[in-house]
Structure 1
Amino acid sequence: MPQTFQNYIDGQWAGSSDGKTFEQRNPANLEDVTGLWPASTRDDARRAIAAAQKAFPDWARLSPLKRADYLKAALEAMKRRRDELAEVLTRENGKTIAESKIEIDAAIKEMEFQIHEGVRLGGQTVASAFEGVFAYSVRQPLGVVSIISPWNFPFNVPGRKGTPALMAGNTVVFKPASLTPQTGLKFVELFIEAGLPPGVLNFITGGGSTVGDEMITHPAIKAISFTGSTAVGRSIHQKAAQIMARTQLEMGGKNPLVVLEDADLELAAKSAVTAAYACAGQWCTSTSRVVGV
């Protein structure tokens, strides 16, 4: 029997409110069911958002240095569990172990940088047009942030989105792609191991038309970070405008590699192959055309 997994909301494990689940299978062996996951409902998403709302004031009041302590502990767990994380990623996503380890290593480097930058949160002082007036700006957390991540880089992208959000004092509701939920769960487990307070980081699985839609239309959501298709990104941008939420949308595009007349052609050819076909070409910055000038 495949293992049944649960959502992580307000520091507690829970299935979907209606008990429904969906299967995730190993793309290299479709007989290998890697797990059963909650097919969560809008009510489940609302509970996750409410948990993040409740946790926000206390988390936002912590100093950046204190928030960094939690994230550093998660980072150390990531380093210790690198090989385990890569194995889960490969079984679920299908990329090679070598590529999975590269992804984990990239997440480690980016998280280290983001933590160190996050402790330097500061504003500006500016010259005022009026006598006796001191003008300045400060950086303040927004509130609840929705993170919706893709299947092609299911570990690095949540780290790239989640670390800055948490370091800035926001709380998070995170929905992984339904093709790679266990990799997303492994990311969350690192923060649980680090002792992150309940409700600061919530994990929920389910469909984009239900859970995902609630995460981009609920009035408590203050920012949305999404990586995925252009069509879905456009829809998120339109819906987010109705609740005045900030958006960060990473979508597909055409990525040319330009080869100049004086280029090293052997190096250019090798670079073009790597840029086009790494991760089977399934990444948003994959080279899709080569232009000779």
Structure 2
Amino acid sequence: MKNQLKNDQVEVIFDTFGAEMQSIKKDGIEYLWQGDKAFWARHSPVLFPIVGKLKNGEYHIGEDETNYKMGGHGFARDNDFELIHEDQNDLVFELTSNEDTKNIYPYDFNFKISYHLVDNKIRVRYVVENNDEKTMYFGIGAHPAFNVPFEKGDFEDYTLTIFPLEKRTFIPLNPPTGMIDLDAREEVHVHKLPLTRDLFNRDALVYTSSPKMEVTLTNNLDDHSVKVNWEEMPFFGLWSPYPAEAPFVCIEPWCGITDDDNTDGDITNKFGINSLEPAETFRCEYIIEIN
């Protein structure tokens, strides 16, 4: 089911399937990728309860060696959410654990996604509640894809600008496996990334975040831009498919990350994993600003 938030600046469309944002329009310009199976059929999927891939597509929990299988980026993006709140500026979607989710993720949980529209900004908030009697382990993240070009120019006319300009860790991906290579981490200063196809020739660019982050997508032809900012989301990815010449780029803040090549498969040891005790709640959020 489609839902809408709209004011005098921005119109945003959502779907209860995956609680996914599917369109962002301002002044008649579509900023969000509209999906094309030739490149990538999604728009802005929610990543939960893992970010990225699991080694061999499976995991176990601590000393319990029961293997659970789960596809990349988890299952939330492929489930129907319930719309539990709607007003002029807000939508709140909810996914609660059920028999199907517990077959691959053995926890009782409640997961809410809220969207708040104010002026030219969309605030996206994730809330995870552990309703189980045991510690819950999870990752969560965003995957919005933005049209390149917005309206004018070519892919190479656009630039990603990362702020603050300070040293951060680059975590390379191993393209054949989709795993990260923790042994090859390096400290870098990265600020401006002019878009080229070769920029993504080893899959997504993955970095550690500063406590406060913003990544802005601009072009050299007009003043239109997209800014994504967040706090306390420790990783982010930048991605466009390669070698396909896909007309979009993703800016992805994450609380979690794909498996590393040397993982032992125990989710309690997984690099970047979050843990939540019974009856506790986890929150994080990011903001998309359209100019």
* Larger Rg belongs to: 1
Q: Which structure has more helix as a fraction of its residues?
A: 1
Query: Is the TM-score greater than 0.5?
Result: no
Q: What range is the shorter-chain TM-score in? A: under 0.3
The TM-score, its normalising length taken from structure 2, stands at 0.22
Q: Which structure has more strand as a fraction of its residues?
A: 2
